[in-house]
Structure 1
Amino acid sequence: MSSKVIVTIFGASGDLAKRKLYPSLFRLYKSGNLSKHFAVIGTARRPWSKEYFESVVVESILDLADSTEQAQEFASHFYYQSHDVNDSEHYIALRQLQAELNEKYQAEHNKLFFLSMAPQFFGTIAKHLKSENIVDGKGFERLIVEKPFGTDYATASKLNDELLATFDEEQIFRIDHYLGKEMIQSIFAVRFANLIFENVWNK
């Protein structure tokens, strides 16, 4: 995936965004895997300004930054839109902002959407992204959704169908941050308690 991209985060004021998403994006930026040709649009219902949103981002990454200036430079790529996921007019405004940022950052129409919201909103957002021509087939387009993905097979299947009405399967990434957490935390116990791994891991 190109590092030239406009990232749109639905649910940008939430805890997941502050604790996981902004630090993860900053690590990519700091390591050089996210170029200067990127911007992040945060959306949520709260009436934040760009300046306040930047301060939230800086606070979430300051411990990872080499300096306050580095954190502020990263946060300057962040933009905010107060957004009601059910309001078509807000998606029209989002499309206009994306177009402006695509030109400013030369992002080549590459778009990544992260749904950091309750799953009952996934289908609504995906439908509007298509109907308001935000997903337009230009550049690469990716969708990331967070678990929980429905409450049972029926609701998960319905959500899947709603997403597939806008995105192709290979464009959709379903993530569970905690699926392997216990295993990773116990990796040393697994390694030394199982002789079968001795020859493989003793390098």
Structure 2
Amino acid sequence: MIQPPVSTVSHALPKLYLLTNDDEFTVLYRKLEAALATGLIALLQIRRKHILALPDGKSTLYAEALKIVNLAKVYKVAVVINDDISLAAKLDVGVHLGQQDGDISDVKQYLAPNQMIGRTCHGDIELVKEAKNDGVSYAAMGAVFASATKPNANVISRQQLMEGCQQGIDICVIGGLTAENITELAGLPITYVAVVGDIMDLPVHQIAARCQQWQQALNNTWNAPAL
């Protein structure tokens, strides 16, 4: 699996980081194919919490993830698995971990050096610093806005994001982001913009166009001339 470089802090255009939703799998697969085919998705996270809640959740998730990883390989898109270190190791992809989902030094024993490790850091700068010291690939900060996915998440400030971006680690922003409100983050040197509902909740035939709208919004926001 092709992986982006680890912890390459950049002031370039943020990259789109797509997360799966809980659609029925055949619909999800078609949506992912439409999104990945645009060439605009840099990173894909497999997060299927409803599937895991089923009696045969683990085996179902493995079957789904295998198909998604193979699809991502076609389009040369890196993949991370949400929370599940053993599944990430089995599929030879990266992993994204919450604060309660494992010690980074332990995780590194299971994954190859080129496999990405993301860490949820909320708005806590100390957690961002810890993530950097642990050698993770990126620190995720949010929620930037309230979202349908996590309506009770604490919204963080621009100042917190600015401080996070000064810690020498790639920063991923997440939480309620849309192609319209992303303009509010103009000027911040973030690496990844994580999106779920604003792309994945659309019908299949609208997915590609929305990805294009996202790319245009990123271009307009980060390439706009300074005032």
State the TM bucket, normalised to the shorter chain: 0.3 to 0.5
TM-score for both structures, normalised by structure 1: 0.38
Instruction: With a CA cutoff of 8 Å and minimum separation of 6, indicate the structure with the bigger relative contact order.
Output: 2
**When you count helix as a share of all residues, which structure comes out higher?**
1
